[in-house]
Amino acid sequence: MSDTSQAPVSELLADGIRYERNGVVQRARECFEAVTERADSHPAAAAEAWWHLANVHRLHSRWEDALAAANRGAALAREHGWRDIEANALNIEGAVWWARGESGQARALFTRILDLAMTPATRAKALQNLGSLAAEARDFDEAERLFTESRDAYRGATDQRGEAVSLLNIGRLQMDRGELASARETLEAALNEARQAGDLEMLAGAQLNLGIALAALGLASEAEERITTAYGQFTIADVPSQRVRCLMQLAVIASERHEPAAARVCLAHAFTVAESANLPVERRLVEEQLSALSPD
C-alpha cells in the first residue's frame, strides 16, 4: 500500500479520481479512504471522497459498502449545506438501487437530485439516469428529451466526459429504436469524446456499445473486436456488470454464426459473473438468453 499519510488532500482527491477513471481500483480506494480520514480538518473534500468511494464500490458490486459510503457522503454534505455534493452521493445511491432491480427507489432519488442540484453538470447526471430509466421502460420520446436536456447541460458546463456519457446513451437509444446507422455515428463520436477525455472506463463502454451497433449492422468481425477489447478493459478494472454485457453480446454474435456451443460457453461464464457479483437484473437476462438459445 502506498503512503498517503503526508500527501495534500487536494492532491489525494485528484489522484483518486484519476485512478478511478483508469480502472486502478486499489489505488483509487487508498486515495479516497485517506481523504475521508481527514474529515475533521477537510470536511468538503471528505464528503467528495465518500461519494467517489461509493462509486468504486458500486462498480465492483459491493452494494452494502457502496450504500454506506454514499450515505456518509450525503450526510456530511447535508450537514454543511453542500447541495451538489449531496446530490452526487444520492446519484450513486440511486445507481446502486437500480442495479439491484429497485428502479422505483432509484427514480425517486434521481428526481430528488433535480431539486438539489446547483450546477448544470450535477443536474445533467440525474437527467442521464432518468433518461436511461425511461429508455429501459421503452418510453423512447421521454428518454430522448431527457438525454438531450442532459447533453445541453453538460455542454454548458464544458464537461467533455459528461458529453461522452450523453452521446453513449443517445447512441443506445438510437439502437433501441432501430436507427442503426445513426447509432453507429453517435457511438463513434462518443468513442472519440471518451478518448479525448482520457477516461478508459468510458472508452471501454463506448467500445462495447459501438460493437453492439456494428453487430446489428451485420459487421460481426469488427463488432467482436470492439467488444473483446471492451471486455479486456472491464476485466482489468473488475467491473462485473459490464463484463456480463460483453459476454452476452459475444454470445449473440456466436449464435448468429450458428455456433450455439460457443454462445453457451459465453453465457455460462456471464451467469457465473452475475451470480458471484450479486447482479439480479443481469442474471435474469442471461437466463432468458440461455433459454432462447437453439440446441447444439
Instruction: Tell me the three-class secondary structure of the chain, residue by residue.
Output: CCCCCCCCHHHHHHHHHHHHHCCCHHHHHHHHHHHHCCCCCCHHHHHHHHHHHHHHHHHCCCHHHHHHHHHHHHHHHHHHCCHHHHHHHHHHHHHHHHHCCCHHHHHHHHHHHHHHCCCHHHHHHHHHHHHHHHHHCCCHHHHHHHHHHHHHHHHHCCCHHHHHHHHHHHHHHHHHCCCHHHHHHHHHHHHHHHHHHCCHHHHHHHHHHHHHHHHHCCCHHHHHHHHHHHHHHHHHHCCHHHHHHHHHHHHHHHHHCCCHHHHHHHHHHHHHHHHHCCCHHHHHHHHHHHHHCCCC
Q: Mean per-residue pLDDT for 209-223? A: 96
Q: Give the pTM.
A: 0.85
Residue 23 in grid coordinates: 480502472
CATH of 1-87, one of 1.10.8.640, 3.40.190.10, 3.90.1150.10, 1.25.40.10: 1.25.40.10
The whole-angstrom separation of Cα 163 and Cα 154 is 6
pLDDT at 1: 43
pLDDT at 4: 59
Torsion of CA 142, 137, 276, 290, to 10 degrees: -130
Residue 41's pLDDT band (boundaries 50, 70, 90)?
Answer: very high
- Mean pLDDT of the chain, nearest integer: 93
CB 207, CB 250: distance < 8 Å: no
The whole-angstrom separation of Cα 209 and Cα 249 is 10
> What does the buried/exposed string (b/e) look like for 52-68 if buried means 16 or more CB atoms within 10 Å of the residue's CB?
bbbbbbbbbbbbebbbe
pLDDT at 17: 93
pLDDT at 3 over 80: no
Query: Which tens digits make up the pLDDT trace of 44-75?
Result: 999 999 999 999 999 888 999 999 999 999 99
Q: Mean per-residue pLDDT for 220-224? A: 96
CB 128, CB 166: distance < 8 Å: yes
pLDDT at 268 over 90: yes
Polymer length in residues for the chain: 296
Report the greatest alpha carbon distance in the chain. Answer: 63
Q: Mean per-residue pLDDT for 150-177? A: 91
CB 288, CB 271: distance < 8 Å: no
Domain range summary for the chain, segments of one domain joined by +: 1-87, 239-296
The whole-angstrom separation of Cα 239 and Cα 41 is 33
- What angle do the packed helices 180-197 and 160-176 form, to 10 degrees? 160
C-alpha to C-alpha distances, 181 to 148, 178, 186, 215, nearest whole angstrom: 19, 9, 9, 12
First to last CA, the chain: 49
